[in-house]
Amino acid sequence: MSGIGLFFGSDTGNTARAAELIQKEFDQVQPGLVTVTDIARCNLRELEAYDKLILGVPTWNIGELQSDWDTLFPQMDTLNLSGKQVALFGLGDEGGYPDTYQDAIGIVGAKARERGAHLVGYWPTTGYDFLESRGVEDGKFMGLALDNDNAPELTPERIKAWVQQLVREFGLET
């Protein structure tokens, strides 16, 4: 198995903690499979080194990118993600921002696809209470949707199920 690059941005630490949980779940499949990187401390071109990527993108304020993603987003136009599988996860507040819940995964997902990536890891919208989202495509979230403001108790089980889904979609089953 080749490695997986997990890149995240986090201001409050919630996305960083989710990234660690995702890495721990993948360690159950193969220890050391996932390399976790805070995008605030890297060159975005590092994404090109991986064939399989997981991007952690929280939604801020009213449908905006988290500050590190917002700063680096224009650099995504220089990336070649052709042939790469990209899975997204995001944190948001479905109660406080039901009109823009998980918009950031939609913004980054659309850009990754534009740069040649194949998106995987779509997640059902069932069990969520929101009105609109740029992160929904064909009735599913473009990645794992987490809400540590309103449903933190669901985060571990959602991550566990999503990682098992990614194991299949990434073709990592033995």
Q: Which of 154, 162, 135, 149 is nearest to 23 (CA)?
A: 162
| pLDDT at position 124 over 50 | yes
Q: Domain of 89: which CATH number?
A: 3.40.50.360
Check if the beta carbon of residue 6 is closer than 8 Å to that of residue 35. yes
149 domain-assigned? yes
**How confident is residue 2, by pLDDT bands cut at 50, 70 and 90?**
low
For 85-135, give the DSSP string. Answer: EEEEEEE--TTT-TTSTTHHHHHHHHHHHHTT-EEE--EE-TT---S--TT
Residue 41 falls within a domain, yes or no? yes
Residue 83 lies in a domain: yes
The residue among 22, 123, 103, 16 whose CA lies nearest residue 59 is 103
The whole-number pLDDT of residue 117 equals: 98
Structural domain includes residue 72: yes
Could you identify the residue written with the tokens 């198995």? 1
Please choose, from the candidates 20, 21, 33, 19, the residue with its C-alpha nearest in 3D space to the C-alpha of residue 171: 33
Q: Classify burial at 48, counting beta carbons within 10 Å of its beta carbon; exposed 0-12, middle 13-18, buried 19 or more.
A: middle
- pLDDT digit string, tens, across residues 24-70: 999 999 999 999 999 999 999 999 999 999 999 999 999 999 999 99
pLDDT on residue 174 = 63
What mean pLDDT is reported for the chain? 96
Checking if the pLDDT of 126 tops 90, the result is yes
Q: What is the pTM of this model?
A: 0.96
The fraction of the chain above a pLDDT of 90, given in percent, is 98
pLDDT at 173: 80
Domain with 113, as residue range(s), is 4-169
Range 111-121 average pLDDT = 98
Label residue 1 by pLDDT band (50, 70, 90): very low
Total count of domains within the chain: 1
pLDDT digits (tens, 9 = 90+) for 134-146: 999 999 999 999 9
Is the residue at 19 inside a domain?
A: yes
Measure the CA–CA gap between 165 and 156, rounded to whole angstroms. Answer: 14
